[in-house]
Amino acid sequence: MSRRRRAFTLVELLVVIGIIAILIAILLPALNKAREHSRRTRCMSNMRQLTIAWLLYIESNKGKLPGSNTDVNAHPHDWVDAGDGIDALKRGTLWPYVNNWEAYWCPNDRIHYMRTYSMNSWLDGEGPAPVATRLSQLKFPTSTFVFIEEMDPRGYLINSFMVLPYPSAEWVDIPAPMHDRVGLLAFADGHAQQWIWTNPSTWQRTGFNQSVPKTDDLKDLQGWRGSGPWPPGRVP
């Protein structure tokens, strides 16, 4: 005599579905955190690769820095050219050292740039003058940033990332909020690090040349720009 299998009741099905939903709610934040950590690690690896390429170019050119601007017609030694296509990367002086476009791009990019990194304007760029043109002029390589993630409301990154020296309270360019409230930087000695933002204006800004008095985030960058005057407590 065969037995009939009892089907799940509606209540039992709802209980199972509820348990699954609870498990998803518990695991999803951890999965998202792990995914963000992976992307952040990859982004820092990209920035280190670009910094190594920057150092190799300098070694190959007897200590001369590549230009941090983006106009190879006006400055043939600029690291990339203007534009948002791969040809703009190929025209730059760092392409022979890093010839993979993904190294110029943050995997967390939500703006869909071809390139998400910009270079410190003090390193043979827009300045303000006087700018460094040779590696020997960098007195504090461990605390001089080379690459930073930037957002440009014009649609793609143009020129270098300008930081006005202390005591200016004006943000000229915009750090890109690719990793929520954390910025990433690569420095002239080849290391990359996280930059924890403390002021909401840093990740909420949408325009250039905005004055934000008394922000520690701007003072951090002024301490890392490579040239003084330095903010109090941030002397290299």
Residue 221: the pLDDT is 95
pTM (2 decimals)?
0.85
Q: Enumerate the β-bridge partners of residue 135.
A: none
Per the CB < 8 A criterion, the answer to whether 99 and 91 are in contact is: no
Burial 138-153 (b: 16+ CB within 10 A, else e): bebbebbbbbbbbbbe
Q: Is the dihedral of CA 54, 57, 62, 67 positive or negative?
A: negative
Taking only the tens place, the pLDDT of each residue in 3-54 is 555 666 766 677 777 777 777 777 666 556 667 667 789 999 999 999 999 9
Residue 86: the pLDDT is 94
Residue 96: the pLDDT is 97
DSSP one-letter string for 94-121: TTTT---GGGGS-TT-SS--S--EEEBT
Low pLDDT (below 50) residues in the chain:
1
User: Distance (Å, rounded) from C-alpha 204 to C-alpha 47?
Assistant: 23
Domain boundaries defined on the chain: 12-224
